[in-house]
């Protein structure tokens, strides 16, 4: 039994989905040759002046409101001064004592179903640094394509208690950002990164212990592992009455350990001061209210609505809200077809998602919602069987053909010729006199046996509803005739 409790606070850096950088017109696109998206502003050349990207501000406001933060009418850009090759100006433009927004929260569902409210202290806007690339013919080079890319930093209170909780929080946060359309959620390309602050305290205590900050871990799994390792390391130090140092640590995935990088710098080391090139950022109350009104439905309330109002299972609700494009696909199909949401959800899960690829915020679907709606309508009205729907679906994939057209072209369609079906039903009944007698004797569950036989005979092309109706009529009709025969 451990006597210590882990205390974790996360600082997430999320790249805002703008086409251009925070203070200049350079492109933010990923993967170009080094130093091809640069200009005097993001190179930090003397005399170049920054101009704030309005789109970045809009996206930051949207995020802050969605997470329940108060957006301030005035915030200030400051210079955070430090020397590093990937920082050409010698300072990073960030927000410090007057950030864009403060005091919000994000609720996460823990393993046992318990809901934990994680407080969010602040969200501020800042620019990204460049990237040092090592090993270019023995040299290191600096790539400044990323320098000046707009980021928001989302700082949580130290409300998380384990690596697993931290991973849940990060996933929930990424989902929210993706649904808001402010971030592409791409951890591999570094557009969603996190620093994890970890400390221990005696169980039951309310004070905060000495913390270590693990820098830039870029996968949910690694964050969890890094925190778990760090908790163990700190526990051992405390248990052996050693002293912890406040420091910045890195994560080495290869040996599964954190390692010391440097002692933690203090805010005063950065000599923050308001950037004289940028006026205070003023946001009118009407702008804030308009952004609040325009907020889209977030993943957690959406899941809840799918479960409560549409009657989906928790699993289906979860799958359909993995990505905003999947949710839209489902909602569009439902709007076109109406009726049973579970049936549509099932079809999307079993057929459509199998051929869907997700990449960041983009998704490519094998078919369109109108095709699914039309296909399911053909099943509903008995034109084709469920089995035939799969065949039609396979023919629709990658085309914009109409399901109805495919059905006609292939000569599909269920047998709906009542006279022909009735004749077939009679043959089946004649061939099974024992079962007919049993049915009439009260074993009505045998209806399924007769339906099955007819479906087999028609290779699944008969309308089950119609076959059901005909068989019931014949069986009850026959028993009535039989009864009449015994009357005097
Ligand atoms: P800094 O100015 O060094 O970035 P902050 O006070 O702003 O420090 O906190 C940064 C992050 O560290 C926040 O997410 C916060 O919740 C977390 N944090 C602060 N103190 C502790 C602690 N003792 N243990 C764990 N996390 C902490
Ligand atoms: Mg920090
Ligand atoms: Zn530039």
One domain for residues 128 and 268: yes
Task: Write down the pLDDT at residue 485.
Answer: 42
104 assigned to some structural domain: yes
Residue nearest to atom 7 of ligand 1 (CA): 155
Which H/E stretch holds residue 200? strand 192-202
Per-residue confidence band for 415, with pLDDT thresholds at 50, 70 and 90: low
**Residues 197-248: tens digit of each pLDDT:** 999 999 999 999 999 999 988 899 999 999 999 999 999 999 999 999 999 9
Give the count of beta carbons closer than 10 Å to the beta carbon of residue 480: 11
Helices 447-457 and 433-440 meet at what angle, rounded to 10?
Answer: 150
Task: Write down the pLDDT at residue 478.
Answer: 57
One domain for residues 451 and 386: no
**Residues 162-210: tens digit of each pLDDT:** 999 999 999 999 999 999 999 999 888 889 999 999 999 999 999 999 9
Report the C-alpha gap between 10 and 163 in whole angstroms: 11
Report the C-alpha gap between 426 and 455 in whole angstroms: 14
Report the C-alpha gap between 353 and 366 in whole angstroms: 8
303 assigned to some structural domain: no
One domain for residues 252 and 330: no
Per-residue confidence band for 265, with pLDDT thresholds at 50, 70 and 90: confident
**Residues 275-288: tens digit of each pLDDT:** 999 999 999 999 99
Rounded to the nearest 10 degrees, how much is the dihedral formed by the CA atoms of 52, 54, 56, 61? 120
Probe residue for ligand 1, chosen from 121, 159, 197 as the CB with the greatest number of ligand atoms within 8 Å: 197
One domain for residues 346 and 469: no
CATH of residue 475: 1.10.10.410
Q: From residue 39, how far is each of 47, 89, 332 by CA, in Å?
A: 12, 13, 43
Per-residue confidence band for 412, with pLDDT thresholds at 50, 70 and 90: confident
Task: Write down the pLDDT at residue 358.
Answer: 87
> Which listed ligand is nearest to 25 at the C-alpha?
3
Report the C-alpha gap between 93 and 268 in whole angstroms: 16
Range of the domain at 470: 418-485
Report the C-alpha gap between 196 and 5 in whole angstroms: 16
Instruction: Pick the atom of ligand 1 nearest to 213's CA.
Output: 12
Task: Write down the pLDDT at residue 487.
Answer: 42
Show the beta-strand stretches assigned E in 50-191: 70-71, 74-75, 77-81, 91-95, 101-109, 115-127, 131-136, 139-143, 150-156
> Which listed ligand is nearest to 244 at the C-alpha?
1
Probe residue for ligand 1, chosen from 82, 119, 158, 209 as the CB with the greatest number of ligand atoms within 8 Å: 158
pLDDT (average), residues 292-307: 96
One domain for residues 356 and 464: no
Which tokens belong to 474? 């014949």
Radius of gyration of the chain from its Cα atoms, rounded to whole angstroms: 32
Regarding beta strands 212-217 and 247-252, do their DSSP bridges make them parallel or antiparallel, or are they unpaired?
A: parallel
Cβ pair 475, 440 in contact under 8 A: yes
Contacts (Cβ under 8 Å, ≥6 apart) of 388? 407, 412, 413, 414, 460, 461
Domain boundary among 238, 257, 290: 290
Q: For the chain, what is the domain count?
A: 3
Cβ pair 430, 423 in contact under 8 A: no
One domain for residues 151 and 50: yes
Tell me what the pLDDT averaged over the chain comes to. Answer: 92
Residue 2: pLDDT over 70:
no
Give the count of beta carbons closer than 10 Å to the beta carbon of residue 82: 13
**Residues 10-67: tens digit of each pLDDT:** 999 999 999 999 999 999 998 899 999 999 999 999 999 999 999 999 999 999 999 9
Least confident of 33-37, 116-120, 275-279, 361-365: 361-365
The better pLDDT of the pair 382, 120 is held by: 120
461 assigned to some structural domain: yes
Report the C-alpha gap between 221 and 166 in whole angstroms: 10
296 assigned to some structural domain: no
One domain for residues 428 and 281: no
286 assigned to some structural domain: yes
Torsional class of 52: left (φ above 0), alpha (ψ -120 to 50), beta (otherwise): beta
445 assigned to some structural domain: yes
Report the C-alpha gap between 23 and 150 in whole angstroms: 8
* Helices then strands, each counted (H, E), the chain: 15, 18
Which residue bears the tokens 């200030």?
Answer: 76
Q: From residue 68, how far is each of 64, 107, 302 by CA, in Å?
A: 6, 11, 17
One domain for residues 405 and 424: no
One domain for residues 372 and 468: no
Nearest to 360 by CA among 400, 324, 388, 394: 324
301 assigned to some structural domain: no
Task: Write down the pLDDT at residue 264.
Answer: 74
**Residues 65-112: tens digit of each pLDDT:** 999 999 999 999 999 999 999 999 999 999 999 999 999 999 998 988
Nearest to 91 by CA among 251, 281, 278, 331: 278
> What are the φ and ψ backbone dihedral angles of 56, each rounded to 5 degrees?
-60, -40
Domain boundary among 379, 410, 441: 410
297: Cα within 13 Å, side-chain hemisphere: 15
Task: Write down the pLDDT at residue 455.
Answer: 84
pTM of the model: 0.83
Q: How far is the CA of 300 from the centre of ligand 1 (A)?
A: 27
200 assigned to some structural domain: yes
**Residues 443-488: tens digit of each pLDDT:** 989 999 999 998 888 777 777 888 899 999 999 875 444 444 444 4
One domain for residues 53 and 199: yes
Cβ pair 118, 106 in contact under 8 A: yes
One domain for residues 209 and 62: yes
> Which listed ligand is nearest to 6 at the C-alpha?
1
Q: How far is the CA of 9 from the centre of ligand 2 (A)?
A: 10
% of residues, the chain, pLDDT over 90: 78
One domain for residues 32 and 134: yes
The better pLDDT of the pair 420, 375 is held by: 375
Residue 263: pLDDT over 90:
no
Q: Which residues form the pocket of ligand 1, taking CB atoms under 6 Å from any ligand atom?
A: 7-11, 155-158, 197-199, 208-209, 211, 267
Q: How far is the CA of 210 from the centre of ligand 2 (A)?
A: 14
Task: Write down the pLDDT at residue 197.
Answer: 98
Report the C-alpha gap between 370 and 402 in whole angstroms: 9
């Amino acid at each position: 039994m451990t006597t210590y409790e882990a205390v974790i606070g996360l600082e997430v850096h999320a790249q805002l989905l703008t086409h251009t950088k925070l203070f200049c017109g350079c492109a933010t696109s990923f993967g170009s040759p080094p130093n091809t998206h640069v200009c005097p502003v993001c190179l930090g050349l003397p005399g170049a002046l920054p101009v704030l990207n309005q789109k970045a501000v809009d996206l930051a406001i949207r995020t802050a409101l969605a997470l329940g933060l108060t957006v301030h009418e005035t915030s200030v850009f400051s210079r955070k001064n430090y020397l590093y090759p990937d920082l050409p100006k010698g300072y990073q433009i960030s927000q410090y004592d007057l950030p864009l927004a403060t005091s919000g929260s994000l609720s996460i569902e823990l393993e046992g179903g318990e809901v934990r409210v994680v407080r969010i202290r602040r969200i501020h806007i800042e620019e990204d640094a460049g990237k040092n690339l090592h090993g270019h013919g023995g040299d290191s080079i600096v790539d400044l394509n990323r320098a000046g890319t707009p980021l928001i930093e989302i700082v949580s209170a130290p409300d998380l208690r384990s690596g697993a909780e931290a991973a849940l929080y990060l996933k929930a946060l990424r989902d929210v950002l993706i649904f808001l359309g402010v971030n592409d959620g791409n951890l591999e390309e570094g557009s969603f990164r996190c620093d994890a602050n970890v400390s221990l305290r005696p169980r039951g205590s309310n004070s905060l212990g000495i913390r270590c900050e693990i820098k830039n871990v870029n996968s949910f799994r690694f964050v969890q592992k890094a925190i778990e390792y760090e908790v163990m390391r700190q526990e051992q130090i405390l248990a052996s009455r050693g002293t912890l140092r406040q420091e910045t640590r890195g994560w080495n995935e290869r040996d599964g350990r954190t390692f010391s990088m440097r002692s933690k710098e203090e805010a005063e080391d950065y000599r923050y001061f308001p950037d004289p090139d940028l006026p205070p950022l003023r946001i009118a109350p009407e702008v804030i209210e308009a952004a609040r009104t325009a907020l889209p439905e977030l993943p957690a309330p959406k899941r809840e609505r799918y479960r409560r109002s549409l009657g989906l299972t928790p699993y289906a609700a979860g799958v359909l809200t993995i990505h905003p494009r999947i949710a839209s696909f489902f909602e569009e199909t439902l709007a076109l077809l109406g009726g049973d949401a579970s049936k549509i959800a099932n079809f999307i899960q079993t057929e459509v998602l199998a051929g869907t690829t997700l990449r960041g915020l983009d998704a490519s679907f094998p078919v369109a919602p109108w095709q699914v709606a039309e296909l399911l309508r053909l099943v509903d009205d008995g034109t084709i069987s469920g089995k035939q729907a799969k065949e039609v679906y396979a023919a629709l994939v990658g085309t914009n053909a109409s399901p109805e057209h495919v059905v006609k072209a292939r000569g599909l369609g269920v047998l709906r010729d009542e006279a022909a079906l009735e004749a077939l039903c009679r043959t089946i009944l004649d061939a099974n006199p024992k079962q007919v007698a049993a049915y009439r004797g009260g074993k009505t569950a045998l209806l399924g046996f007769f339906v099955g036989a007819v479906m087999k005979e028609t290779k699944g092309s008969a309308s089950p509803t119609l076959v059901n109706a005909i068989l019931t009529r014949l069986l009850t009709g026959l028993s009535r005739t039989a009864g009449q025969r015994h009357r005097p």
